[in-house]
Amino acid sequence: MILSPDDPLAVPGQRIQVLGTSGAGKTTLARDVSRLLGFAHVELDAIHWQANWTPRAREDFCAEVSAALAGPEFVVDGHYSSLLGDVVRRRVDTVLWLDYTFALVMRQVVDRTLRRMALRQTLWNGNRESLRLTLSKDSILLWVVQTHGRRARELPREFESPAFDGVTVIRFRNPTQVKRWLGRIAGCRGRASGQE
């Protein structure tokens, strides 16, 4: 079931995955939702990328992710289905889908990359984005160009597969919808706990 974030049924479950193309803002949304709901946040990039941008071995990656998702409540961001298979999919009850245009994603990823380089921001396990990396064949900018269209075509087909039976998919088309939805969820939680 794919819902608009304005649909009254578009509420998060207890085991949430945030999906979208690289640079869409998956980690930011996952952090916001995990803080709002008090759930553990699992960032797949942080598990996958070891020092010097070395990917974790597939078996270790699957084992780490399985252990991280063993609890009853979590928000996991990222895809990695080619490495993880259905390790994540079989655990989730809700998907938050950032289905943004190429232009929006590219603007966000350029801004993010420039900010990370200027601030020399440390990412996972001591990794940093650099001008050299940004201009290389492993560039996140090039990755977005190569994968955005394919991911935009593949995800809707995945959501129609039997693997997603019983999973609520909430489709966001822009950051304004995300902010509005987060505000609605925060308001609902506040009323439920008697804070309003």
DSSP state of 52: G
- The burial of 144, by beta-carbon neighbours within 10 Å (0-12 exposed, 13-18 middle, 19 or more buried), is given as buried
192 has pLDDT over 80: no
In order of their start, the domains of the chain are 2-185 (3.40.50.300)
Neighbours of 40 (CB within 10 A): 15
Q: What gap in Å lies between CA 21 and CA 79, rounded to an integer?
A: 9
Would you state the pLDDT for residue 57?
A: 95
- Say if CB 12 and CB 33 are below 8 A apart: yes
Helix (H, G, I), strand (E, B) or coil at 28: helix
Q: What is the pLDDT of residue 111?
A: 86
Model pLDDT for residues 98-126, shown as the tens digit of each residue: 999 999 999 998 888 887 777 777 777 77
How far is the C-alpha of 36 from the C-alpha of 46, rounded, in Å? 21
Q: What is the pLDDT of residues 33-81, one digit of tens each?
A: 999 999 999 999 999 999 888 999 999 999 999 999 999 999 999 988 8
Tell me the residue ranges of DSSP E strands in 11-102. Answer: 15-20, 40-43, 49-50, 54-55, 74-77, 94-98
Q: Write out the two tokens for 156.
A: 């809707």
> What is the per-residue pLDDT for 122?
74
pLDDT tens column, 125-139: 777 776 676 666 777
Whether residue 93 has pLDDT greater than 80: yes
pLDDT in tens, 147-186: 899 988 999 998 988 888 999 999 999 999 999 999 999 9
Distance of CA 133 to the CA centre of its chain: 22
pLDDT band at 96 (very low <50, low <70, confident <90, very high): very high
Contact 65, 74 (CB under 8 A): no
Residue among 127, 117, 130, 121 nearest 51 (CA): 127
Cα 60 from Cα 47, distance rounded (Å): 9
The pLDDT score that the predictor gives to residue 176 is: 96
pLDDT band, very low/low/confident/very high, at 190 (cuts 50, 70, 90): low
What was the pLDDT predicted at 194? 55
